[in-house]
Amino acid sequence: MIAAVATLAAHAQNTYWVFLTDKAGTTFDPYAYFDARALERYAQCGADPADLSNHPVSAAYEQGVGALATEHVGSSRWLNAVGIVATPDQVAQIEALPYVRRVQLIASRATLAHIQNSTFEIQHSTPDTTLTDQLVRMQGHLFRQQGIDGSGMRIAVFDGGFPKVNTHEAFEHLRRAKRILKTWNFPDKKEDVYGWNGHGTMTLSCIAGRMNGKDLGLATGAEFLLARTEVEPEPFKEEIWWMQAMEWADRNGANIISSSLGYGKDRYYTKDMDGTSYVARAANMAARKGILVCSSAGNEGTDRSWKTIVTPSDADSVLCVGGTTHDLNRYMHIDFASYGPSADGRQKPNVCAFGHAWAANPHGKGGYQMVYGTSFSCPLVAGFAACAWQMNRDKTAMQMFDLIQRSADLYPYCDYAFGYGVPQASFFTQKSELKNHNSPTFRFERQSATRVSVIPLRTDTTLRFFYKDVATDGSITTYGQQDLSDATPGLSLDFDGGTHLVLHLNGYTADYTFDQPSAPTVDRWPQIGFEQSKGSYTYGYRARHTPALERPKETRWAYDAYFMFGRPIAIGDDELASNLWSPAWHIGTRISYHLTKAYSLGIGIGWAKTFYHFGDRDVNKLERLLNRPTDRFFNVGNVEVTRRRLSLGEWNFELFQRIRFQPGGLNHKGFHWDLGVYGSLGYTTYRIKGTIEGNGTIAAAREEILEGPTALDTYNFNFGLATRLTYHYYGIYARYRLNGIGSDVPADKVLLPRLEVGLQLMF
C-alpha cells in the first residue's frame, strides 16, 4: 500500500518557482520598457531603472524550463524565476538543467488565505455631509477644503475581479475622465477585468468611489491600474500572478499599490510571517523602486492559533493596515482584524482605519452596502496616502511611509492592535508635525517598584487611556485600553514583567520607567479579553523570550471523524445486478500529517457494514453453491422466503494522500481530494427470513457465518483503492476492490460488486 501511495504522489502536480542562475544574453532598454511616469518615479527615489532586476528573464532559459513542465504559468523579472506546474519527475529533470539554480515548491505554502469579505445590507443613511464616516474619521474634509483628491497620483489595485466597475454609478467620474488607464487579467492573459470576484469592485470604491453625492474614498481624482490576480477556486498559481502584477504596476508608473489580498494561515505557518515570503520580498523591492505598498493586516484576529498579521503586510517597507470599528465616538479595535507583531517581533500593523465601510455593491442591481474586513481599511488608507502625497510630491515612497505613520492620531504611541492609529489629514493640511508637544493630560504617581498610578489632569467621562508595557528588547508584553469616569479618578496598573510603561491620552504620550523591573514571567501568549464591567480592553499579553521572540507553531496533525453511506454498484450478470437496495455504511476516524499546508499523508481506521440483498423469492446461486436449500436452513418444509441478505462486516485500514485545492485551515475544512489504498479484515453472514406456507406462521430467521474461502469471490481479507472529494463537511466517496481482479471468476464463486459509491460527512 505504501508503494501505491508513493506512486500516486510521484505523479501529483504542484506549482513551483524555478530560480535561474543568470540573465545571460538578455538586453534591456528601460526608456522603451517603462512608462514616462515610472521613469519620473525612479528618478525621484534615486533608483536605477536599468538595474539588473528589471532585465527580462532569458527567453532561452524560460523556454527550456517550460518545455519540461506540465504548464508554464509565467515568469518574474525581479526574482529571475519561472513559474510552472509540474510533477516531481519533471522537477527532477528541470533541476538538472545547467542554468537552474534551484526549484521552490509554491504549494508548500498552500493556497491563498482568502480575505473574508462577507457583506450585509443596512438601511440607515450616512451623515449629511459630502464624506462618509469612514473618511470623516481620517479628517478627509480637510483635504477637500484645499481641493486635494489624489490628482496626479497613480494607484494600482490588485484583486480577484472588478465586476460593474465599467458600468456602476460609483465610478462614473473615473470613466468620464478616463482615469482607469490600464487593466490586465493575469489568470486569463487579457485586458478584461470587469467580472469574476466582486471583492475588487468594493476595494476600489473605498479608494475612489462615490455614493449619492458622498465620497466613499478620498482619491477620487487619482488614476488607476486594475489587475486581476486571483481566481476561484484558488490555485497555487496566484502567487505567480501577484508577482507579475507588481512588475506590471512598476512598469506602468504606479505610485501606490493597494493589495487587499493577504496570504496567511491557509498558505503559511506563523513563523513565516517575518517578511521573508516571496510576495513580501517583492513588496520591499517595489518600495525600493519608489512605490508605496499598502496591504491588509488580515482577518485572523479571532483565531487563537494565529496571532499575527499576514504576508505581504509583514514586509518592513509595506504599510500594514489594521482595522477599527465604524464609530466616530469610540476608538475600538474590530475583533476580526489581525494583531501584530510580525513573527520576528517588528511593529505591525503600522496604521489602521475603519474595518466596516460603505462600498459599491458589485452584485445584482448594484447600489451600495456595508462591508467588513481589513480588505477595506487598506484601500481607505491608500486613498488617504494619495492625497497626502499629492501635497508632498517631492517626497519618496518611504518618506511618505514615515509621514503617514507620524500623522496617525496615537503617534508616537503604538501597539499591536492599532499600530500608530488612524492617519489624520490635519498633519498635512495644517503642518502639525509637532505632535505630542501639547499639554500633558495625565501624570504618573509611583506606588511601588512595579506599580504606578496614572492620574488624569482633568475630569472627562470619555477619557480613555491607551497603555502598553515594553520589555528591554522593545517588544510589547501587555497592551490595552482603560476607560476613566468621574467614579474612577485614577488608574492603577500593576506590571510584573516590563521595563517601562507607555501611555497615551488625548494626543499626549508619556512613559514611566520602572527602576526594579520584575523577572520575566511564564509564557502567557496569547490572551485576548474584554472586561466591560471595568471598562478595560486588554488586547494581548506576551511573555519575553531570549534571545529572540518566538510564537507558537501550529500543529501539522489533523484529525477527523467520518460517516459514509452508499451502495455497491453491480455490473454484469452477477446476482445483484438488478437489485437497487444494497446499502453500505462506514464510521471511523482519520489522522493526517501535513507535509505542506496543501499536501498531507494520512492513515485511517474504521468499521463498515455492507448488506447485499438477493432476490427474495428464488433460490440463488449462493445457496446452490453452499448446498443449502431452504429446508436446510429452517429444518421445516414449505417455507416461503421473504428476505435473503448477505452481510459483510469489515475493519478497514487506510493509507492516503490528501491534496487541498481550496483553503480551510490545517483541519479537514476546505476543498480537498483524498486518494489512497485500503485493506480490510472481516467476515460474512448469510441470513434468510421466511414464513411457513399455508398458515402464515413466521419461520425463525436463520443465518450462517461464511468462512473464507467460500462460494464468494471475496475473502476475509480484501484490499483496493479509495478516493474522496470533500468540501468542508460534505463529500462523495468511491471504493474499488482489487483482490482477484484480472482473473476469471470461477463457476463455483458468486461475484460481488467491486465498486461502491456514496456520500460522506466529516466532523
223 or 263: which leads in pLDDT:
223
For residues 477 and 545, the answer to whether their CB atoms sit within 8 Å is: no
Percent of the chain with pLDDT over 90: 49
Task: Tell me the range of 125-129, 181-185, 260-264 where mean pLDDT is highest.
Answer: 181-185
pLDDT of 617 > 70? The answer is: no
The band of 639, judged by pLDDT with boundaries at 50, 70 and 90, is: low
84's grid cell: 510552472
Task: Say if residue 125's pLDDT is above 60.
Answer: no
Interval 140-144 mean pLDDT: 95
Segment 27-31 long-range contacts (CB within 8 Å, at least 24 positions apart): 28/54, 28/55, 28/56, 30/54
CA nearest 166: which of 186, 190, 189, 183?
A: 183
User: Could you report the per-residue pLDDT of 188-232, keeping only the tens digit for each?
Assistant: 999 999 999 999 999 999 999 999 889 999 999 999 999 999 887
Amino acid identity of residue 106, one-letter, is: I
| Separation in Å, CA 533 to CA 308, 407, 530, 560 | 28, 33, 9, 39
Neighbours of 709 (CB within 10 A): 11
pTM for the structure as a whole: 0.81
- What is the pLDDT at residue 118? 37
Mean pLDDT of 286-297: 96
pLDDT in tens, 293-316: 999 999 888 877 787 899 999 999
Concatenated DSSP letters for 344-368?
TS-----EEEESEEEEE--STT--E
The residues, any chain, with a CB within 8 Å of residue 328's CB and separated by 6 or more, are: 133, 136, 137
Estimate the crossing angle of helix 199-208 against helix 374-390, to 10 degrees: 30
Residue range 656-668: mean pLDDT, rounded: 70
Q: What's the burial of 614, exposed, middle or buried (CB within 10 Å: 0-12/13-18/19+)?
A: buried
Q: Which of 283-297, 534-548, 648-662 has the lowest mean pLDDT?
A: 534-548
Q: Is the pLDDT of residue 370 over 70?
A: yes
522593545: which residue's cell? 474
Strands 256-259 and 292-296: parallel
Structure-model confidence comparison of residues 53 and 559, the more confident one: 53
Q: Which residue has the higher pLDDT, 276 or 2?
A: 276
Specify the pLDDT at position 59.
95
- Band of pLDDT at residue 496, cut at 50, 70 and 90: low
Read off the pLDDT of residues 545-570 as tens digits, 9 standing for 90 and up.
323 344 445 667 888 899 999 998 87
688, pLDDT greater than 90: no
CA dist 293 to 207, 279, 507, Å? 14, 12, 27
Q: How confident is the model at residue 663 (pLDDT cuts 50, 70, 90)?
A: low
pLDDT, average across residues 624-650: 69
What is the structure's pLDDT at 38?
Answer: 97
Separation of alpha carbons 96 and 558, rounded Å:
35
Most confident of the following: 109-113, 256-260, 612-616: 256-260
Nearest CA among 87, 73, 56 for reference residue 17 = 73
Among 546, 528, 545, residue whose Cα is nearest residue 537: 528
Q: Rounded to an integer, what distance in angstroms lies between the CA atom of residue 704 and that of residue 712?
A: 14
* pLDDT surpassing 70 at residue 526: no
Mean pLDDT estimate for the chain: 82
What is the average pLDDT across 176-194? 96
Is the confidence at residue 260, as pLDDT, over 80? Answer: yes
- Asked whether the predicted pLDDT for residue 577 surpasses 70, the reply is no
Residue 491 has pLDDT above 70, yes or no: no
Most confident of 128-132, 336-340, 630-634, 688-692: 336-340
**Structure-model confidence comparison of residues 464 and 167, the more confident one:** 167
Model confidence at 25: pLDDT above 50: yes
Nearest to 543 by CA among 467, 452, 473: 473
3-state secondary structure 650-668: EEEEEEEEEEEEECCCCCC
Check residue 42 and report its DSSP letter: H
**Is the pLDDT assigned to residue 759 strictly greater than 50?**
yes
**Weakest mean pLDDT among 468-472, 496-500, 661-665:** 496-500
pLDDT tens, residue by residue, 404-458:
999 999 999 999 999 999 999 999 998 655 454 567 888 888 877 767 788 888 7
As a whole number, mean pLDDT of residues 463-483 equals: 79
Say if residue 696's pLDDT is above 80: no
pLDDT at residue 335, rounded to an integer: 86
DSSP 571-608: -SSSTTTT-----EEEEEEEEEEESSSSEEEEEEEEEE
pLDDT (tens digit per residue) in 393-411: 999 999 999 999 999 999 9
What span, in angstroms and rounded, lies between the C-alpha atoms of 612 and 580? Answer: 10
Higher pLDDT residue, 640 or 578? 640
